[in-house]
Structure 1
Amino acid sequence: MSLVNWNLIAKISTPIGLVLLAILIGLFIENRLKYWIKKIDDNIPFGQYSFILKSFEGIIFIWFTVGGIALVLPSINLPISLNILIQKILIVIALTMATILASRLAVNSIQVYSLKHETTVSLTSLFEYLTKVLIFSIGFLVIIQSIGIQITALITAFGVGSLSIGLAFKNTLSNLISGVNIIVSRKIRPGDYIKFQNGEEGYVVDVELKYTLIKDIYNNVIVIPNGQIIDSSFQNYTLDNPQMLLPIKIGISYDNDLVKVEAITLTIAENILYIIQGGNKEFKPFLRYDSFDYYGINLTVYLKINEYLDRLLVTHEFIKEIHKVYKQEKIILAFPLINPYLKINDSLENK
């Protein structure tokens, strides 16, 4: 009787022990994985590749647990139907984890590659979403095929139902396709500064499933449907090169020496570009007299800034400096000629 009990205990404890051992090994590897992730993150040349190890977080433990159960399953006396059911469940779990791993690796790889190569497609929320949908769709088909379910009927049913889905979600699908068009065409990318004809402008934050998010200079987020962006005209100030010319118009009196005005104005412009943040230090500003006006002569000074919003500070500082130096150098700005006549009339009346 005692021998039978020991055999029973051995039959029960051996599978449990193997499963626990597999769990402990999985936990140990997960712990070492976190250690190596930290080591790689601290290593500047290879820190960006830590995503490869991070993609395995939580998955190795589940794989070892599933493997331990699968290993001891043949030694357990279970009904055939229950045994087959457990095997299928284990297959589904293992393949699901493999699909999640593939999704993580794909998204993170694209992200690292897009950061290293500016000419590639930027990783927006929509692009990340589509990548995950593609991988999980393939994973789903592999899973149901591996557990013995025929996918032919499923694909047929999906084809019939897709028409109804398309009609029900017409607006969403239209914005989704527009979002894909935005990403592929690369006319709008995260970080670009764009301005629409209706006056809305700001930095592109993200392209999502249905909307594109733009943050203006007041830190407000503008939400625009993707389809509306495709159908609109806009200016992208950072598409090819964020640097741009900054023309600033000035009007001066006819009494000024134009050669002197040009020399002093260009000196001011050069100093502003060199001192003020956002000015292009390597650019040599130039000046062009444009036209004769009723009040004086119009000129335009051309400076160069590093990006669109730099125009605010550069223009601000340039105008301040122009006003100060022109006063010192007795350069007269253009003003309405009616003022002298008013003063003359006032003086006549006083007499």
Structure 2
Amino acid sequence: MSLLEEYLYPALVFSIILAVGFAVRKILTRVIRHWAERTETKLDDVILGAIRSPIILWFLVGGIYAAVALIRLPLNIAVVVDRGLLALLILSIAWTLANIASGVIKYYGSKIGAAIQVTSLGQIITKFAILSLAIVIVLSELGIEITPLVASLGIGALAIALALQDTLANFFSGFYILAEKSIRVGDFISIEGVGEGTVVDISWRTTKIQTLPNNLIIIPNKKLAESIVTNYDLPEQELSLSTVIGVSYDEDPDRVEQILLDEARKAVREMGGTNPDFTPLIRFAPADYSLNFTVIWRAINVRERGRQIHEMNKRLVKRLRAEGIEIPFPVRTVYIRRERGQGLKSSTRRQATRRAVNGAKSG
């Protein structure tokens, strides 16, 4: 066999396999794209984007392998080429799987409303894990002893995990919060012992809450996950508001109730941010120095709470004054009861003291 024939056939085989690779990629891309257009999910687009480029690399590796097999190479060179091609194939497959896993994490992260930082960190960790496993497999195939390396990596990973214990706890707590959807960006929440405000960001380490005075509360995700949280936007934003107003015991409760109910209905219609379909409620209870009436109505969200209670209180006070209803000041009457025996003893003490004083003067 001439030198031309010896290298012409392998080159021809390599070219044919590579051409088949381009054809397969084109056909596969068209089929997957057509199938993707008929589905609502975007996962097929993720898979298509991940395998589009590696297909050519796989056929390239196959073409080189077939061409080398037709060439009479020395055994030691052939072994090196085979192992190199196998390592390249393993790494390319691992890279493809890492891209698919990263795309899936990004897709579901957007579905659950995960923060960009959490999604990105999850993608990095997944890629690192898959590629690390691929490198270990490649080293094993190349005949390199990996047991000491794996042991060293295990000890190093344990040390890193212990050093980053709080960071990892915050990361997984943040991911759990986002996946559960119990707290979302934009929700108005109240944290027991911390404060309340609007969630503006949930990152991989902390959650940021903007309070009504425009301050920023930064709380670690681990502490947030362990706290008792009231979410005013779940299950719905609408909520009940109430205010208590007291009148004198001399007033007629029925008349006061009708006046308050009439004014509350007007307020609900006029002050905005309320549910006009909800009829205000009045609840009565006697207190220490006044007859207390609780007025209840519905607001569209908790952000209206301060303004509406302020407005409702002003309207109710003005209406009661206009109707001549007395709003009492806090008053407490204290009755002191003196026992008869105690009174005699006190009188006896006063007489004894008076005699002693008179005796001293006369002396």
| TM range, smaller chain | 0.5 to 0.7
Q: 1:292 to 1:132 in 2, by over 3 A?
A: same
Q: TM-score, normalised by structure 1?
A: 0.66
In structure 2, stretches of 5+ residues that fail to align are 331-363
Query: Which residue is 2:84 aligned to?
Result: 85
Count of residue correspondences? 317
Distance 1:236 1:147, change over 3 A: same
- SS, match of residue 93 in structure 2: helix
Offset of 1:83 from its aligned partner? 4.0
The aligned counterpart of 1:263 is: 258
1:133-148 correspondence runs (5 A): 135-136=126-127, 139-140=130-131, 142-144=133-135, 146-147=137-138
CA distance in 1, matches of 2:304, 2:178: 27
Q: Distance in 1 between matches of 2:327 and 2:194?
A: 31
Change (3 A) 1:203 1:52: same
**Aligned match for 1:248, one of 221, 231, 243:** 243
User: Quick one: which of 210, 213, 232 aligns to 2:208?
Assistant: 213
* Residue 92 of structure 1: how far off its partner (Å): 0.8
CA distance in 1, matches of 2:274, 2:240: 10
Q: What amino acid does structure 2 have at the position aligned with 1:164?
A: A
Partner SS for 1:309:
helix
* Counterpart in the other structure of 2:188: 193
Inter-partner Cα distance in structure 2 for 1:35 and 1:276: 55
Compute the displacement of 1:315 (Å).
Answer: 3.1
Q: Within 2, Cα distance between the matches of 1:240 and 1:251?
A: 33
Larger radius of gyration: 2
Contact 1:52 1:105 in 2 (8 A): yes
Identity of counterpart residues, as a percentage? 24
Cα deviation code 1:205-258 (max 9, x no counterpart):
454332123244577654222344356565443566654331113345677654
CA distance in 2, matches of 1:271, 1:66: 75
Q: What's the offset of the Cα at 1:21?
A: 6.1
Corresponding residue for residue 202 of structure 1: 197
SS of residue matched to 1:209: coil
1:334 matched residue in structure 2: 327
Find the aligned partners of 1:69 and 1:127 in 2 and give their Cα distance. Answer: 37
**Residues 262 and 287 of structure 1 are in contact (CA less than 8 Å); yes or no, is this contact kept in structure 2?**
yes
2:91 touches 2:131 (CA, 8 Å); kept in 1? no
For 2:4 and 2:269, how far apart are their aligned partners in 1?
90
Opposite residue 85 of structure 1, the aligned amino acid is G
Give the Å deviation of 1:70: 2.4
Once the 2 structures are TM-superposed, how far is the Cα of residue 297 of structure 1 from its aligned partner? Answer: 4.6
In structure 1, stretches of 5+ residues that fail to align are 41-45, 115-121, 338-351
User: 1:131 deviation in Å?
Assistant: 5.6
**Residues 195 and 235 of structure 1 are in contact (CA less than 8 Å); yes or no, is this contact kept in structure 2?**
yes
Which residue of 2 is the match for residue 340 of structure 1? none
Residue of structure 1 in register with 2:107 after alignment: 108
User: CA offsets, 1:100-132, max 9 Å, x none?
Assistant: 2134235534764x5xxxxxxx75668746864
Task: Name the CA shift for 1:145/1:169 in 2 (closer, same or farther; >3 Å).
Answer: closer
- Correspondence for 2:43: 52
Alignment check: 8 A CA contact 1:15 1:72 kept: yes
